[in-house]
Amino acid sequence: MTKLRFKIVALATLLCAGAAQAQGSGDGKAGLDGPHLGLHHAAMTVSDIDATIAFYSKAVPYKAVRRFKVNGSVFPAALLSRPYKQVEIAIIAMPTGFIQLMDFEPGKAGVANPRPVIGPGYTHICFQSASKDPAIFRFMAAGLSIISRFDAKDGVDLGGYGVRYSYGRDPDGIMIENESLDAPKRREAAWITHIANVVHDRDKMLEFYTRLLGRKTHRTMEQENNSKLDAVGGLYNSKIKGGWFTVGNMDIEVWEFARPKTPLRSGRQKLDEIGYNSFGLEVTDLKAEKRRLKAQKIPLVGGTVSLDGWRVQYGVDPEGNLFSVQENLSSDQSLSVMGLPKNS
């Protein structure tokens, strides 16, 4: 095989894999082969829950199905930068999972916190939508600040396989991705496929997630000097390494920027930092899951938290990013992964 032919075959393989990944899980299935029922939610700390709901609902189906307040003392002190009297929480239901909005100072304006595309930490969640009605245009009309470089179409076309990509920031500086699909697997106006964790050491983090999730990656990739990938992130001459885990209903996406280099986080992520603060995995038996995590030498942070009918335990990854595992004790089943609608 000549070098040219090899490069063409390698590129075709990458594009086919990209097309498959772009579709994400997105089928409403959960609990396929791991210890978790699914990826219950991506958690966002915001400056104002009402303003966040108003912004997103202009672009995608975005409605609070549960909203409540708790005493700030329910959260272990190790998870916060300082004490809080009251924390407001809203649960947003999407077709493939939930978003948990958290406001640690209800009624007080917050300061935007735009995290770099190259991380570190949780940088974005991905909304998919059909290209016949792309969500990115609705987000832009609502005031989304665009990061990606693309023309009048609905995002950057990486390889002609029917998916276009775009990044932007909401009023809090929180980044989202929109993947616009010519042949979507779902019929809703928009749905979530993954949360992205941008890390300093991809291989170390993939090993950690394999232990945490009890699953192996379904795809890895490495790319450099790809002008179209650069355009998605608003970068130039980047070099990236990625990996993806499915948790049934959604994916966890892991990126390492080798150029420019993703910095190593200084200290541990805090729940009260504006932006994505964690993700939550749902289990049927939290005590058993904690025993499994301890056997896997996965650090847990603080004690168990009782939160609106859920029992929640936070943990931390090797780079200081938080995650949680949680069991539904008395909350409505519609707020559980198993209550998600089947693929329409």
pLDDT at 2: 43
Tens digits of residue pLDDT in 41-69:
999 999 999 999 999 999 999 999 999 99
What are the structural domains, with CATH classification, of the chain?
Answer: 21-339 (3.10.180.10)
pLDDT at 19 over 80: no
Q: What is the side-by-side strand order in the sheet with 310-316?
A: 64-71, 86-94, 97-103, 38-45, 275-283, 322-328, 310-316, 300-307
Question: Would you place residue 24 in the very low, low, confident or very high pLDDT band (cuts 50, 70, 90)?
Answer: low
Please tell me the pTM assigned to this model: 0.91
Concatenating the DSSP letter of every residue in 97-114 gives EEEEEEESSTTS------
